[in-house]
Structure 1
């Protein structure tokens, strides 16, 4: 699982690779120069503050870098800093289309992807060997996730209130929401796009629920 320090390490290394400071990288991406400052990485009361996927997408575009290159910079060793030699620290995850996720035959009863023939991408090694990527389609998750974004999903990650999750119903409906509350009998979900309704599902209605670990634009 990617940690707060991993993401900020990758941003610093991306800046260094292009001969920039963190402030210079932000400016090149058309962002406020203070976006990646050390002081912006935690809140005044000490809570961790994460960079937005939008800000990362902008600096990747501005530097001509790919998401795979970015995640290769998250390692804490010299190899990570060099952007090379990371093969042992990466795992290949299948990329599943959003429409596929609602069809029979793509997941087992536990919500793990099955079969093969999908596209794959490399991602830093996680505790969950069943992790997969889901390609967003449509506008139901805007502005948090947009059409074409890639979401990294972990079926085995523990769930907490406030987590963003992907839920598949037994009827084949797939949705990405924010977890508001989970009890032994039902799950209450908040829509990321406020133009779409919140949902309350009983446990018998749910095929599986998985935590969103990371997203790329």
Structure 2
């Protein structure tokens, strides 16, 4: 008995399926796209078929998105990423448990927002929080993705975000711009505008109207591997 051929994208999901669809639609091989990125010819074939690497590097996603004329978020892993109903921290005696969200804020072009939940907690001493001026802060922890905030924030760093309502002042913030979530230095640009600045000078500043940006919270602490 013979079976009809299967669509090669049916078993794939997310950015792998989308990248294969785009390459086939444009009639360009994965090997050629890999060389466009300065990678070995099997790089994207292994990404799509073997899941290695687990995700595309930020600069590779951006280059492919420009080539195909699509949004960079189409080549990101689809995760539940939002700040709509952030779990509250839990206080227990001398310790405070801060929710660690299954959520990444991109230090780059931006990450698509959806819904999120806490999958873990960080426990901080109440005394230490008071010493940092954070005893009344509404804290949650998320990870940094990408390299545009290096060397201040590195890919994989964990950051504490204070969501307490307060007047805006320049600093490092997690923000939502459209449907994307990112961590940037936010500075007033005058006349109702703000600038989203990267620490890595390879990334140019982005200036937008202040009402286009939702400031989720201020980054008040970071931690990461040495």
What TM bracket, shorter-length normalisation? 0.3 to 0.5
TM-score when normalising by structure 2: 0.46
TM-score when normalising by structure 1: 0.47
Does 1 or 2 have the higher relative contact order (CA < 8 Å, sep 6+)? 1
Q: Which has the higher strand share?
A: 2
Larger C-alpha radius of gyration, 1 or 2? 2
